[in-house]
Amino acid sequence: MVLSTRKIPVTILTGYLGAGKTTLLNRILTENHNEKVAIIVNEFGEVGIDNQLVVNSEEEIVEMNNGCICCTVRGDLIRILKTLIYSMEEGNVKFNRVLVETTGLADPAPVAQTFFMDQAIAEKFEVDSIVTVVDSKHITKHFDTKDEAQEQIAFGDIIILNKTDLVNDKELDDVETRIESMNSTARRIRSKNCDVSLKDILGIHSFDLNVKLEVNPDFLNDHHHHHHNNKVTSVAFVEERPLDMRKVDEWMSYLIQEKGEDLLRYKGIMNVKNSKQRIVFQGIHMLFAGKADRTWREDEKKITQLVFIGKNLDKDELQRQFENCIA
Ligand SMILES: Nc1nc2c(ncn2[C@@H]2O[C@H](COP(=O)(O)OP(=O)(O)OP(=O)(O)O)[C@@H](O)[C@H]2O)c(=O)[nH]1
């Protein structure tokens, strides 16, 4: 028997909060590409929503919550990768590619670094590319204040300028020019709902260590000090009692008016009174949408799970407002 020595390619999916990473992930999971992808999803906030919004598929999906992949949970990433290899060698899982979706607040450099610094990991895996998804509408808000958003662009091999439907041509050109000035070597692709061709982002071997060392000469020195903006926190709610949709609507209108600037990302799945379907809600600053999703399954508990990520969040106030929405 000839054992394959080919390393498993890894795609690191990055991009600021709400840019469209899960949308792209769902595209990868639903399109035909003859690949078997193992997916690692990391979320900021102790309640994982993304894994519930990822389409049903046969792929291996591992969730990493409660910390940021580039900081506290790097050890978890290494353990997960080693477990995946072990399970594959034991014949329990099959995959020929790994995709790591990072939190919107992660610096992708230390995540990529993991694949060089740990010898056992470096022997089995190689970084194929870092794909950065950009929210063309909101990114300009984050250019000047959010280090993470800039790191994600500076480190990307492929930059997807997503949400082209929300900006005009001039705004899009301006965003692209700004991005080009931050990273001139990355390939840029414009998209709506991340409708990119998968051959442009998977298996392209565009990660070049030398280029990364130019961006960050310390790339291979393992002393990561990523200081998250400590004003950014997350608040999560989990509730089994059904909610009153009218009250939720009123609450959201109030929040958008009063806190829209500070609310970087809010999302969740709601159990609403008299609804057989899950209601999924998605918010980024002032943009908010709640819509009916699939029917709750017989075998699943109808639970509301909401996450708010933002600056100056008042947990007690949000808690009171949330409880007021219980039907
Ligand atoms: N108008 C518009 N909305 C989009 C587009 N792409 C994604 N969205 C919406 O933007 C919201 C956030 O998308 P996600 O894919 O969840 O973004 P994300 O980067 O995974 O978000 P986090 O993981 O929470 O940081 C969702 O409501 C998407 O449906 C687009 O091209 N245009």
CA of 18 to the centre of ligand 1 (A): 5
Give the residue whose CA is nearest to atom 25 of ligand 1: 17
Low-confidence winner among 55-59, 187-191, 313-317 (lowest mean pLDDT): 55-59
Give the residue whose CA is nearest to atom 24 of ligand 1: 18
The tens digit of pLDDT for each residue in 2-37 reads 445 689 999 999 999 999 999 999 898 888 778 888
pLDDT for 1: 42
The tens digit of pLDDT for each residue in 88-123 reads 888 888 889 999 998 888 888 888 888 888 888 999
Q: How confident is the model at residue 48 (pLDDT cuts 50, 70, 90)?
A: low
CA of 194 to the centre of ligand 1 (A): 9
pLDDT for 191: 97
Q: What 3-state class would DSSP assign to 319? A: helix
CA of 49 to the centre of ligand 1 (A): 13
Instruction: Assess whether the region 8-215 and the region 232-324 belong to the same CATH fold.
Output: no
Q: Between 108-117 and 74-89, two packed helices, what is the crossing angle to 10 degrees?
A: 50
Give the residue whose CA is nearest to atom 12 of ligand 1: 18
According to CATH, the topology of domain 232-324 is: Hypothetical Protein Yjia; Chain: A;domain 2 (3.30.1220)
- In angstroms, the CA 182 to CA 159 distance is 11
- In angstroms, the CA 50 to CA 307 distance is 11
CA of 225 to the centre of ligand 1 (A): 29
Ligand 1, atom nearest to 195 Cα: 31
Domain ranges (residues) in the chain: 8-215, 232-324
Sign for the pseudo-dihedral over CA of 70, 14, 134, 204 = positive
Ordered alpha helix ranges (H), the chain: 21-30, 50-53, 74-89, 108-117, 119-124, 139-143, 147-155, 169-182, 209-215, 245-259, 315-324
- Ligand 1, pocket-test mutation among 17, 22, 24, most atoms within 8 A of CB: 22
pLDDT for 294: 92
Give the residue whose CA is nearest to atom 26 of ligand 1: 282
Does the 8-215 domain belong in CATH 3.30.1050.10?
no
Give the residue whose CA is nearest to atom 15 of ligand 1: 20
> Which of the pair, 81 or 211, is modelled with greater confidence?
81
CA of 196 to the centre of ligand 1 (A): 14
Q: What angle do CA 209, 213, 214 make, to 5 degrees?
A: 120
Give the residue whose CA is nearest to atom 1 of ligand 1: 163
Q: What is the ipTM of this complex?
A: 0.98
Ligand 1, atom nearest to 15 Cα: 19
pLDDT for 193: 97
* Cβ-based neighbour number of residue 300 at 10 Å: 9
The tens digit of pLDDT for each residue in 137-166 reads 999 888 877 678 888 998 899 999 999 999
pTM: 0.85
Ligand 1, atom nearest to 267 Cα: 24
Average pLDDT over residues 251-257: 92
pLDDT for 226: 61
Residues having CB closer than 6 A to ligand 1 are 15, 17-23, 50, 104, 162-163, 165-166, 192-194, 265, 267, 282, 289
Closest CA to 293 of 304, 278, 314: 278
pLDDT for 69: 63
